[in-house]
Structure 1
Amino acid sequence: MFKYSYRTFGRELVFLLAAAAWAVPFVILVMIALKPGDEMLTDPTSLPQQLDFSSFPQAWEGSSGVSLGAALLNSTVITVGSVIALVAIGSICAYVVVRREGRMGKGIYGLFVAGIILPFQLGIVPAYAVLRELGLAGTYPGMILLYTGLLMPLTVFLYTGFVRTLPKDYEEASYVDGASRIQTFIRIVFPLLRPITATVAVLTGVMVWNDFFVQLIFLSGSPLQTLPVAVYSFVGEYVSQWNVIFAAVVIAILPVLAFYLIAQKQLIQGFTGGIK
């Protein structure tokens, strides 16, 4: 029977203090975004004397000819497309790797692990050359294809650890009923992968959404500017208006924060692994 003690209170207090420390940057971000321009320059760290929401419409209009709304749409299309491709391909690949016993399965898994270790920056130049020759540089399909290749090793690694916890009894019963391998995977295995699928979707989605380096290189000169690149352009145009820059950052993090809050239960289950 659980008994609330001083040790429990101390543990909860430590967790609350840690949560407060993690929340400080977000509080400062919102505070500065809601401050008027003159107050921002005179006293940036204090609480705003009056709330000023005018920086959000100004941030939404964007800079350098790219609105924040268009950048939000571009980031959404690239992120959602990449996550769908990673989940669809990575889950099947991990399932085959785990169920294929012997050296071949272990060798393929080792190649994916090596893909996590090696820095992807080593292949940026040849990847850009290939996409340009194919006419995919600066396009939605090109960026989705690129991120699918870059994050596939991590996706397979996460799925593989979870698939290994799945008993084969469900699959064997499906085979007895006359289902094929692909039918077994779609109807039996993939629904059991829902916790790790949420984990993969959140992790890879955040990586694609927040990525700046790849998007700056492969989308340079195209109209498909994403949120990180659009927010970066604010620094040059609104260098003295940090409230506008911070408002743009708040707008940029809201969608992925909402997605995380919705999928956090499945995310925790994916990290713990296994099924009951």
Structure 2
Amino acid sequence: MTNRAWGKIGRPAGQGLMWVLTLLYVYPILLVLLSAVKSKSELAIHPFSWPKHWTFESFSKAIDTMHYFRSLLNTVGIAAVSVAGVVVMAAMAAYAISRRDNRFYRAMYLVFLAGMIIPFQMAMIPLYKVLQTLYLINTYPGVVFIYLGMLAPFSVFILSGFVKGVPKELEEAALVDGSGTYKTFFRIVLPLLKPAVTTVTVLNLFNVWNDFLMPMLYLSDSKKGTITVQLSAFQGMYNNDWSLIFAGVCLIVVPMLVIYLFAQRFIISGITAGAVKG
């Protein structure tokens, strides 16, 4: 069979497979949205059908029960400080690792790579002991410190590959003009890392936003809980009201979905560029 014949067969088959995979990914999201606008009785009788009577009562009830705006503020505060801190520190570490070619910095890079391999479940009890010793249990700084350590390895891995693609001549010209190392980094190098920084920022934001285990372990006060922890309370309190649970899921997912739709171009370009240049 000629290449042209294979093309006529392969292209429609590939497009068909793409649509099948798209439906497999979209269907669960659509099911959650449709379940959230059904009444409790309708969801129990017709869980997979199109809603006959649209109702948004579950959303208002979920907002009140989750203390949504308070938990949202907690989540935004933790995520903003953690992500901003890890991006700045990881960018500086990646710059040093990429520009200093000696054993120490190569060893530090391997340490960061090892941090990507070790699962958090192995360290959560020792970390609890450390926070307890430092009197940081049930405090926002304690959770932020752990996020900084958890998110740093992946961030350094992405950013270091991208820093290698920045021409050294730009830094040398800045040094000749009297610019110091820090000034060169923040004014010359960091602006050129915008795609990679955007990628790291968004992906780390997703990790912090969707995380359940960390706030549950280290923030025992319900008033300091994040939105994922507040959602878990529905399972015991409203274990039969699935429309309320699906409404809570929508309230958590929609903000991140909007951010991803605006930032997906930077995420793809940043990961691709980092992978190629690293």
Normalising by structure 2, we get a TM-score of 0.91
Deviates more, 1:141-150 or 1:215-224: 215-224
Distance 1:154 1:188 in 2: 23
Distance 1:41 1:28 in 2: 14
Amino acid at match of 2:25: W
Amino acid at match of 2:63: W
C-alpha deviation, 1:10, in angstroms:
4.7
Distance 1:224 1:17 in 2: 42
1:36 to 24, 36, 39: 39
Distance 1:113 1:57 in 2: 44
Matched, 1:51 2:45: no
1:8/1:177 CA distance change after superposition, 3 Å: farther
Deviates more, 1:216-225 or 1:14-23: 14-23
Q: Is the 8 A contact 1:206 1:256 kept in 2?
A: yes
Matched, 1:175 2:175: yes
DSSP 3-state at the match of 1:273: helix
Structure 2 runs not aligned, ≥5 long: 1-6
C-alpha deviation, 1:141, in angstroms:
1.6
Q: Is the 8 A contact 2:202 2:267 kept in 1?
A: yes
Distance 1:62 1:132 in 2: 30
Which position in structure 1 is the counterpart of 2:189? 189
Q: Is the 8 A contact 1:36 1:52 kept in 2?
A: yes
C-alpha deviation, 1:220, in angstroms:
1.9
C-alpha deviation, 1:14, in angstroms:
3.3
Amino acid at match of 2:185: F
Which position in structure 2 is the counterpart of 1:21? 24
Distance 1:82 1:199 in 2: 15
Q: Is the 8 A contact 1:138 1:222 kept in 2?
A: no
Q: Is the 8 A contact 2:138 2:220 kept in 1?
A: yes
Structure 1 runs not aligned, ≥5 long: none
Normalising by structure 1, we get a TM-score of 0.92
Between the two proteins, what is the percent identity of the paired residues?
37
Distance 1:113 1:233 in 2: 36
C-alpha deviation, 1:20, in angstroms:
2.3
Which position in structure 2 is the counterpart of 1:244? 244
Distance 1:175 1:9 in 2: 56
Matched, 1:130 2:130: yes
Distance 1:172 1:12 in 2: 50
Amino acid at match of 2:34: M
Which position in structure 2 is the counterpart of 1:152? 152
Amino acid at match of 2:201: A
C-alpha deviation, 1:251, in angstroms:
0.2
Q: Is the 8 A contact 1:112 1:157 kept in 2?
A: yes
Deviates more, 1:117-126 or 1:174-183: 117-126
Specify which structure has the higher proportion of helix: 2
Residue by residue, what CA displacement relative to the aligned partner does 1:72-115 show, whole Å, maximum 9, x if unpaired?
11111111111001101000001001101021121110111111
Amino acid at match of 1:263: A
DSSP 3-state at the match of 1:252: helix
Deviates more, 1:130-139 or 1:115-124: 130-139
Cα RMSD, aligned residues only: 1.8
Amino acid at match of 1:43: H
C-alpha deviation, 1:126, in angstroms:
2.3
